[in-house]
Amino acid sequence: MDHHGAGAVARHDPQPPPAADAVRQAPSIVSSSASSSQQYGSTREFIELPLSPVDGYPSSKVPEKTLSSVIAGQHAPLLAWEDVAYSVKIKDKEQSSMRTLLHGISGEVYPGEVIGLLGPSGAGKTTLLNILAGRIEGGMLSGRVSFRGRKRVPGVFKRRVAYVEQEDMMFPMLTVEETIMFAAKLRLADRNYTQLQKVERVASIMHQLRLSHVKGSKIGDALSRGVSGGERKRVSIGVGLVTDPDMIVLDEPTSGLDSNSAEMVVELVRDITRSRGIASIMTVHQPNANMLTCFDRVLLLSQGRLVFFGSVAEALEYFETKGFPCPMRQNPADFFIDMMSLNNRSPQDLEASRRRIEHLAQSFSGSSKLTTKMSLSYGGLYEQRPYALQGPTPAASRGGVAGMAAAASASTTVGLRQDAPFNWGTPEADDAEPPERASWLFELRTLAQRDAITTLRHYTFLSAVGLNTVSVLLLLGLLFYQLGREVESIQNRIGLFFALTLNSTYGVMSHYLYVYYKAKDIMLSERGSGSYRMTTFYLAKVAVYLPFAVLSSWIYFVGIYFMAGLQPVATKVFVSLSLFTVLIVVTLAVTLMVGSFVSTYDLASVIAALTVTTWVIFGGHLANAGELLPVISWMQFISPAFYVYEGMVRTEFTGLELHCKANNGLCVARGDDVIKLYKLDQFTVGQCALIGVCMAVGYNALAYLSLRWKAKPKYLWI
C-alpha cells in the first residue's frame, strides 16, 4: 500500500480517529496557561491525567480536550522540516573531505504527537534531533525548519522548546524539589509569576512526573547516592516543563535505565504530550514493544537517510509490501533496527544489507517528498497529512505485530485542512519576541542562592578548603614560629611572605577551578535554553566563591602572622591582610578566566599551574627584582604576586630594627636597608595596593569577556 497515494487522500473535514473516539475520561483542569495561538494547539490547559497506566493502549486516557481538538482544530504542524541535510569536514590522514551525515530529511510533528526517532547506532538520530532542537554546532547545514508555521527565531524557539539531554546536567547536591524550583525561578519572569504560582507549578510537575515521594531526596551522582536513574531523568524532564514549553525534545531518555524505568519515562512523556497538547520528539536506541506503542509515529533513519516516517502499524505494513514482513513475535523495534543495520558478517551480507537500505530509502524518498511538498506548499486547500494523527488502536497494542498491521488496515487516514500557509519569511510579531525573563537582580539573587547551597553542600570541596587552611596554618606557623629580631630572621621573613604568596595562589586556583568547571558544564546546558544571563552567572560565582576564598585565607594569614611574631602593629596587620586579600581576588579572577576560556578541565589545570608558577618566579623572591634581563624583566610587572609580595615585605620591614650578633660587616640592621637590598623599593605600598586592585578589576573583566565569548552558543539555524 502506498501511504502517499492520491487515492488515500481523504478530502473531507477532519474527524477524530477511533483512538480519540475512545476517549471517555473527563480531564480535570488544575491550571491554565493558554499562551499559544489557537492554530497551533492552544489547548495548553494543564490537564491532570490518571497517573497509572491503564490496561491496553494508553491513548484511551487522552482527553478530548487535547488529541481530538488537535485533530479537529489545530491543523498546522508545530515543527516542520524539509530537505534537511548536514555534512561535516573530516580529516583522513593528510586529506580532508566532507562527510554527509544526513541526506535531505523531511517531516513534521503536530501538537499532541509523540515522534520516536529510531535507527541503528550512527544512523544520525542525535544529529537530526539536535538540528530540530536548534542545538547543532559546526559543519554545513541546509534545508528548512519552521516552528508554528514560521521561520524559527532562535531567542524565541529555545525558550519554547525543552531540550532534555542524554546526560542529566544537574547539581547532585540539590534535592529534586530544589532543582525544579530553581529552574522555575530562573526561567519564569518574577513580574508575571508569584512565588506561590511557581511553588504550585513545581508541585504539579512533580506530581505529574511521579516525583512527589522523592522531592526531598538529593539528585546525586556517581560519588554520592541520590535518586534512581529513572527519577533523575524525570527531574530533567520536569526542569524542561517549568516554562510550559510547546515541544519537548529528548535525546536518548531511556539510556542507562532498566526496562521498567525506561518504559515509565516514555509513557510519562506521552501522557504529558497529550495532556498539555504539546509535541515530543525523542531518540530511543532500542525501544521495547510497549514503548513503541507510545509513539504516534516513528521516523526511521539509516545511514543518515530517511527509511520511513509514519505510525508503527504503517511501518510494518510498508516493510511487508517491500518484501520484508516482520516475523511473528519479534519486537517491531528490533525488526526495524535489523532492517536498517549494515550486516558485517561477510562481504556478501554487507553488500546485501547496503542494497536493502538503499532500496528502502529510495522507495520512501519519492513518496515522502511528494507528501512533504503537499504539506508545505498548500494554501487553504484540504490536504492530507502523510499519516493520521493517531496512535495504534487498543487492538494494535494488545495484538502485537498482527494487531498493529490490522490496525493499520483499519485506520482511517484523516485529511486535515491546513488553513495557514507556511511562511518562511519574517515571523509574526508574537513569535518574534522571546518570553519575558526574570529581572536581573532576582536572577542574580537566585543564582547566588543556588551557588551558596551547592557550595555549602559540596563536602569534598569544603573538606579540601578546610584541610588546606589548617595544614598551611600549622605548617607555616610552626616553621616560622616566633622569628624574633635577629639578623637571620631576614631570610625567614622573606621566605614566609614567599610561602604565603605561593600557597594562596595555588590553593585558590586548585580548589575553585574544579568547582567552576562542574558549574560551567551545567550553565552551558542551561544557556542552551536561554535560562539566564552571563552577567548574573559570573557575578553569582564571584559573590559566592570570594567569601569562601577570602575567609579561609584570612584564617591562616592572621594565625601565621601572630605565630611568626611579625610586627604586631594594627596598621601593618591591616595593610598586609588587605594586600593579601587583593592577591586572593586577582587569583580567583584569573582562575575564572582560565576556566571560562579553556574548554577542558585537564588543560585548564595545566595552564593555571603554569600561570601561578610564572607569577611566583617573577614575584620578587626567587630572583632579585633589579637584576633581571630586560627582555624578561617586564614579566614581573604583570605578576600580581610581585606587587603583593613587594607591598607585604615593605610593610613588614619598614621601621624594623634587627640585632646583629657580631659586627662582621655583613649585618643589615635596618629593615629599610633590606628592602633596598632586595630591590623591593620600586613601588610604594599604596602603589602596590592600587595596581593590585586595578589588576583585580582587569582580570575580572577579562574573565567575564572570555566567558561570554566562549559560552555563547554557536548553533546553526535554518
Interface positions with ligand ATP (CB under 6 A)? 88, 90, 101, 119, 121-127, 138, 285
**Which of 101, 656 has the CB closer to ligand ATP?**
101
Separation of alpha carbons 124 and 17, rounded Å: 32
The set of cell numbers assigned to 664 is 662582621
Cβ-based nearer residue to ligand ATP, 287 or 647: 287
The CB-of-123 to ligand ATP minimum distance in angstroms stands at 4
Cα angle vertex 509, ends 508, 513, to 5°?
115
Shortest distance, position 375 Cβ to ligand ATP, whole Å: 25
Amino acid at 516: Y
d(CA 112, CA 182) in angstroms, rounded, equals 28
Going by the DSSP 8-state scheme, the letter that residue 457 receives in this structure is T
Tell the smallest beta-carbon distance from residue 285 to ligand ATP (Å).
Answer: 5
The two beta strands, 95-109 and 279-283, are: unpaired
Kindly tell me which of 55 and 94 has the beta carbon lying closer to ligand ATP. 94
d(CA 380, CA 156): 27
CB of 362 to ligand ATP, least distance (A): 20
Nearest CB to ligand ATP, comparing residues 95 and 121: 121
Q: Among residues 44 and 125, whose Cβ is nearest to ligand ATP?
A: 125
Helix 685-711 and helix 534-564, axial crossing angle in degrees, nearest 10: 150
The least distance separating ligand ATP from the CB of residue 117, rounded to whole angstroms, comes to 8
> Between the CA of residue 407 and those of 41, 249, 439, 478, what are the distances in Å?
26, 28, 52, 83
Helix (H, G, I), strand (E, B) or coil at 639: coil
Q: How far is the CB of 58 from ligand ATP (least distance, A)?
A: 26
Burial class, 400, CB count within 10 angstroms (exposed 0-12 / middle 13-18 / buried 19+): middle
Nearer to ligand ATP, 127 or 581 (CB): 127
Among residues 576, 546, 545, 571, the alpha carbon closest in space to that of 558 is found at 576
CB of 544 to ligand ATP, least distance (A): 35
Complete edge-to-edge strand list for the sheet that includes strand 279-283: 161-164, 247-251, 279-283, 114-118, 297-302, 305-310
| Residue 81 CB, nearest approach to ligand ATP (Å) | 15
Segment holding 550, helix H or strand E: helix 534-564
* CB-based contact 413:388 (threshold 8 Å): yes
d(CA 309, CA 448): 46
Shortest separation between residue 166's beta carbon and ligand ATP, angstroms: 8
CB closer to ligand ATP out of 127 and 576: 127
Residue 123 or residue 513: which is nearer to ligand ATP going by CB?
123
In contact, 67 and 73? CB cutoff 8 Å = no
**H or E stretch at 118:** strand 114-118
Q: At closest approach, how far in Å is the CB of 217 from ligand ATP? A: 29
Instruction: Give the list of residues 6+ apart from residue 394 with CB closer than 8 angstroms, or none.
Output: 19, 22, 56, 57, 59, 60
Of the two residues 20 and 340, which places its CB atom closer to ligand ATP in the complex?
Answer: 340
Residue 168 or 177 having the CB closest to ligand ATP: 168
Q: What is the smallest separation between the CB atom of 546 and ligand ATP, expressed in angstroms?
A: 38
Shortest Å distance, C-beta 130 to ligand ATP: 8
- Measured CA to CA, the distance from residue 402 to residue 387 in angstroms comes to 19
Nearest approach, Cβ of 251 to ligand ATP (angstroms)?
A: 8
Report the alpha-carbon distance of residue 392 to residue 408 in Å, rounded. 8
**Cβ-based nearer residue to ligand ATP, 308 or 704:** 308
* Radius of gyration of the chain from its Cα atoms, rounded to whole angstroms: 32
Q: Are the C-beta atoms of residues 527 and 486 closer than 8 Å to each other?
A: no
Q: What is the smallest separation between the CB atom of 349 and ligand ATP, expressed in angstroms?
A: 20
Nearer to ligand ATP, 124 or 220 (CB): 124
- Nearest CA among 613, 609, 602 for reference residue 635: 613
For the chain, counts of helices (H) and of strands (E): 25, 14
Q: Show the DSSP H helices in 188-228 as ranges.
A: 195-208
Q: Nearest 5°: CA angle at 476, between 474 and 477? A: 60
Give yes or no for a contact between 80 and 359, defined as CB atoms under 8 angstroms apart. Answer: no
At its nearest, how many Å lie between ligand ATP and the CB of residue 89?
8
Choose between 117 and 502: whose C-beta lies nearer to ligand ATP.
Answer: 117
* β-strand partners of 88: 99
Comparing CB distances to ligand ATP, the nearer of 126 and 633 is 126
Q: What angle do CA 394, 397, 402 make, to 5 degrees?
A: 110
